[in-house]
Chains A and B, each alone.
Chain A
């Protein structure tokens, strides 16, 4: 690891001020950052430890939702009583990712800022537009089995690796951030970006901004939900395709449907127009298949990952069927 200087910030204002210097980065759980620093993919010259800041609680909001402090550990979030009971989709998604050790270390804010696990991003001997803007994309014509099929650009086909974020996208969370120019709230759908011609930017968070909390709205879809993660082994593997499905049902009629896909794009993938196809419709396989087709409109494979298009469609149908059946058996 390259040498760096290190300071500890006691509050948000100090943290924001200290991270504004060139080459400075925040560190909290460190599980992704230190890994990338060890292999020289990331080379901060200064780290600002933010773990002393009091952002480590989960509180109820006046709007009937929950505010997850940015520094709450992933494990503590997944096992929190109010998350388990009101937002079980989020619990399940978090527990589908990483290992017990990593979940005990990684923070909720950090989870949002994970870097892609694209092999070429990790391999400093190959070109990668995300790691080194303008150097080219090795994945498009390379081995791309794990990589994106939706929202890609000619510059990057990386995927966002998080499971937690797929659930947060479906739940329509809000990300609260503070920067030099004050606080702002970012709807989850606008937090992460598509690669376009600036794939080195994963999110719309500005370099001087810190995530302070993630707010969950009141509606948690605790009755009918599923997080379905398809991967090469049963545990500790990133998703080939994952689906966060949440339904509000009246009898067998869908009042509201939320679907977010992981492992297929540079951000958790939502298609609100496709979700709307289910509104007022019967929760049936036939209708779920229509939604699945609409969700994968415009999907493009790059050779090794062509199978993901059909896999994603079937995963959507299976996840929606599973979410529907919960109430039937309840």
Chain B
């Protein structure tokens, strides 16, 4: 098994077998050493290698937002991010939000406002609301709708998700 690629040589030859390398990912405050092929997305690393299945795979193309995680406090689509490119970054998933057995205020607000039905988009929605609060750019209802447009809810729980987002902005419940 190779752990290093040789730069500049044989680059036109496509590897036939997974050529892995050691990748250190910092997830929810803990460092993990993983052997990953370069094409492994952060999403697949989380779900398949770290067994953190809270982060969901929806479209796998950056269109639905189910895979949203926080990277150094900013929300990204983990499906469109290569794990090998995210060493030395702090990745926060839905599993890392509760502290000392207490839900993060945004998680609690999703329950209080009944802001989900099937729940599949919810981890991504929660991370996205927290990211929006961190970014500090949403002021109005229209801002919320625009800045949350990267998270789709096919059950249509938007009305209550917006209530969560409004509450999170009022109480400034970021990360």
Contacts and interface: CB of A to CB of B under 8 A. Distances in A.
Interface residues of B, number: 44
Contact of B76 (A1, A3, A35, A104): A104
A24 B146 CA distance: 36
A101 B11 contact: no
Given A35-B80, A101-B65, A234-B146, A5 B60 contact: no
Given A5-B19, A35-B61, A45 B13 contact: yes
A131 interface: no
Interface residues of A, number: 40
Given A4-B38, A105-B76, A105-B80, A24 B150 contact: no
B42 to A, nearest CB: 11
A99 B82 contact: no
Contacts of B164: none
B37 interface: yes
Contacts of A79: 135, 137
Interface in A42-75: 45-47, 49, 51, 75
A99 to B, nearest CB: 3
Nearest to B18: A3
Contacts of B12: 21-24, 45-46
Given A31-B80, A100-B132, A101-B68, A5 B15 contact: yes
A5 B11 contact: yes
B41 to A, nearest CB: 8
Nearest to A52: B85
B25 interface: no
A242 to B, nearest CB: 16
Interface string B1-41: 00001011011111111110100000000000000011101
A4 B13 CA distance: 9
B5 A6 contact: yes
Contacts of B5: 5-7
B8 A4 contact: no
Contacts of A2: 14
B14 A4 contact: yes
Given A5-B5, A5-B15, A6-B38, A34 B75 contact: no
B84 interface: yes
A4 to B, nearest CB: 6
Given A3-B15, A3-B19, A99-B65, 5 more contacts: A6-B38, A7-B7, A7-B8, A30-B80, A105-B81
16 contacts: A3-B19, A4-B39, A7-B7, A21-B8, A22-B11, A31-B77, A35-B62, A37-B39, A45-B11, A49-B85, A51-B85, A99-B149, A101-B77, A102-B80, A104-B74, A235-B146
Considering the complex of A and B, which 5 residue pairs feature the smallest CB-CB distances, nearest first?
A: A99-B150, A6-B38, A235-B149, A22-B12, A21-B11
Interface of A: 1-8, 14, 17-18, 21-24, 27, 30-31, 34-35, 37-39, 45-47, 49, 51, 75, 79, 98-102, 104-105, 234-236
